[in-house]
Amino acid sequence: DSYADYCPFFRPYGSGDCRVAANAGPNLEIWGDTYGENARCWVSTVISKKYQAPTASGRCHGQKCELNPSTGKMELYVLIGKGSDQQKEKFKCPEQGGKINVDGGGYSGTVL
């Protein structure tokens, strides 16, 4: 695509808005995906440890901001797994950005 200066980018499906719970597919438990108002699109290879790691793609995972009482700073977490947000495993996003290594709650992979 010449408009993107030939840089690769993800083009969402029409029903791919992570914030809409009705867009959830049947394989949420395999991918550790979440749909709903607290979900966002992430570049992810996360998958249940029962399966082989896929290539990175745009995926819906929950996100949560929390105040760290010891530093007074807000921290961003990606939420992986099944159940409510409180039941999901949370993985802290690096303050300077970068890759998040996921290994817990029966899931493994990376999130960018």
SS3 string of 46-59? CEECCCCCCCCEEE
CA distance 49 to 46: 9
Q: What pLDDT is stored for residue 1 in this prediction?
A: 47
pLDDT digits (tens, 9 = 90+) for 59-106: 999 999 999 999 999 999 999 988 888 889 999 999 888 999 999 989
SS3 category, 22: helix
Provide the token pair at 34: 């979440």
Q: Does 56 reside within a domain?
A: yes
Q: What pLDDT is stored for residue 16 in this prediction?
A: 78
Whether residue 39 has pLDDT greater than 90 = yes
- Per the structure, the complete domain to which residue 74 belongs is given by 17-111
- Give the mean pLDDT of 19-37: 91
Residue 11 pLDDT level (bands cut at 50, 70, 90) = low
Q: Does 11 reside within a domain?
A: no
Q: Record the pTM.
A: 0.82
The answer to whether residues 65 and 57 touch, using CB atoms and an 8 Å cutoff, is: no
Residue 45's CATH number = 2.30.34
Q: Does 94 reside within a domain?
A: yes
Q: Does 27 reside within a domain?
A: yes
Q: Does 3 reside within a domain?
A: no
CA distance 40 to 1: 25
